[in-house]
């Protein structure tokens, strides 16, 4: 199955939707880390979610969804960029027991929050925060749309060790588009018949046919997605500069060079003492970023 996101809408209504399927990108993210099964599934759901939300807001820029909690998993983050590239990472509490393979969202995180960051090209950065008050990632993101965007939105997410998938339905505020007062309730009820196996194994067009064969559905050209990391030597240098000159020089005195690695893709970067001094002397340093 091709890694892609498929947009669709129901004719003569104000209801739109998306379906995402990720196989290769999912495997490339997970192959770089040795996560427990429950973490792999939850990170896969987050990967599908960031693809869905990026397409929903039609962002020409970078979006990230970061989940922070107080359970065995302290942080998960998934990020998209304008080229259809996705990446994701999880951090576990080293002092906690490894999660059981059947652990759910609440088991992994406990209490905490989700931060959604939109970083458009040439625009102002925006962040929205929602508490972990639901027992699933999909439920928490629905809360975000209800509170921050005030748009009725439903999500269904699924993942296993090999693939991840998701579906989103959203009711747009423009009632002039709607000639079917029952469309929102009906389409949501039909989507609730989806099971995890169908989401992971069935392609978008077949899924829409199964769910909505009695509806008039307009399907748009799918957008291909793939794994991709935005790390670079310049961005890593920017992150190092946030440590400050004194700490960087202390590391150099002890180690002779600074060696670091992108946490997302495991690319190694090495900086000599001369390169670090040049970075510190350059006024227009690259901006810091998370790696």
pLDDT in tens, 191-203: 999 999 999 999 9
b/e sequence 259-271, b meaning 16+ C-beta within 10 Å: ebebbbbeeebeb
Number of domains in the chain: 2
Report yes or no on 289 lying in a domain. Answer: no
Checking if the pLDDT of 182 tops 70, the result is yes
pLDDT in tens, 106-144: 999 999 999 999 988 878 889 999 999 999 999 999 999
* For residues 169-189, average pLDDT: 91
Distance CA 34, CA 78 (A): 17
What pTM, to 2 d.p., does this model score? 0.84
Q: Left, alpha or beta for 110 (phi > 0: left; psi -120 to 50: alpha)?
A: left
Same domain, 190 and 266: no
Average pLDDT over the chain reads 90
Report yes or no on 288 lying in a domain. Answer: no
Report yes or no on 128 lying in a domain. Answer: yes
Distance CA 39, CA 141 (A): 18
Same domain, 25 and 79: yes
Same domain, 156 and 265: no
* For residues 26-55, average pLDDT: 94
**Contact (Cβ atoms closer than 8 angstroms) between residue 15 and residue 187:** yes
Checking if the pLDDT of 288 tops 50, the result is no
Same domain, 149 and 163: yes
- What CATH number is attached to the domain comprising 252? 3.90.1280.10
Same domain, 219 and 245: no
The pLDDT-based confidence of 264 (bands split at 50, 70, 90) is: confident
Q: Can you give the residue range of the structural domain that contains 171?
A: 4-227
The pLDDT-based confidence of 153 (bands split at 50, 70, 90) is: very high
* For residues 245-270, average pLDDT: 85
> What pLDDT does residue 284 have?
55
Q: What percent of the chain has pLDDT over 70?
A: 97
pLDDT in tens, 229-244: 777 788 888 888 888 8
Same domain, 28 and 78: yes
pLDDT in tens, 60-70: 888 999 999 99
What is the per-residue DSSP string for 162-193?
S-EEEEEEEE-S-GGG---TTHHHHHHHHHTT
Same domain, 245 and 173: no
Same domain, 110 and 254: no
Same domain, 212 and 268: no
Is pLDDT larger for residue 9 or for residue 262?
9
Same domain, 164 and 262: no
> What pLDDT does residue 286 have?
44
């Amino acid at each position: 199955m091709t890694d892609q996101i498929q947009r669709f809408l129901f004719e003569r209504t104000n209801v739109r939707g998306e379906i995402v399927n990720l196989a290769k990108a999912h495997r490339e993210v997970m192959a770089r880390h040795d996560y427990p099964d429950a973490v792999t599934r939850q990170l896969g759901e987050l990967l599908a979610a960031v693809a869905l939300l990026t397409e929903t807001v039609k962002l020409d820029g970078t979006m990230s969804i970061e989940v922070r909690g107080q359970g065995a998993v302290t942080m998960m983050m998934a990020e998209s960029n304008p080229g259809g590239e996705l990446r994701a990472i999880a951090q576990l509490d080293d002092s906690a027991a490894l999660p059981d393979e059947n652990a759910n969202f609440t088991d992994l995180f406990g209490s905490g929050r989700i931060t959604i960051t939109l970083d458009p090209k040439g625009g102002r950065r925006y962040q929205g925060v929602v508490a972990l008050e639901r027992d699933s990632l999909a439920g928490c993101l629905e809360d975000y749309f209800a509170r921050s965007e005030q748009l009725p939105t439903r999500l269904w997410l699924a993942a296993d060790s090999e693939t991840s998938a998701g579906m989103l339905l959203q009711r747009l505020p423009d009632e002039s588009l709607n000639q079917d007062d029952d469309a929102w309730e009906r389409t949501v009820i039909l989507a609730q018949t989806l099971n995890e196996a169908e989401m992971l194994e069935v392609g978008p067009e077949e899924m829409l046919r199964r769910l909505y064969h009695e509806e008039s559905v307009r399907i748009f050209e799918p957008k291909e997605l793939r794994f991709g990391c935005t790390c670079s030597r310049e961005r890593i240098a920017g992150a190092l500069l946030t440590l400050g000159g004194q700490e960087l020089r202390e590391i150099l005195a002890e180690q002779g060079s600074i060696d670091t690695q992108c946490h997302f893709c495991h690319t190694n970067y090495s900086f000599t003492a001369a390169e670090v001094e040049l970075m510190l002397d350059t006024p227009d340093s690259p901006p810091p970023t998370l790696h």
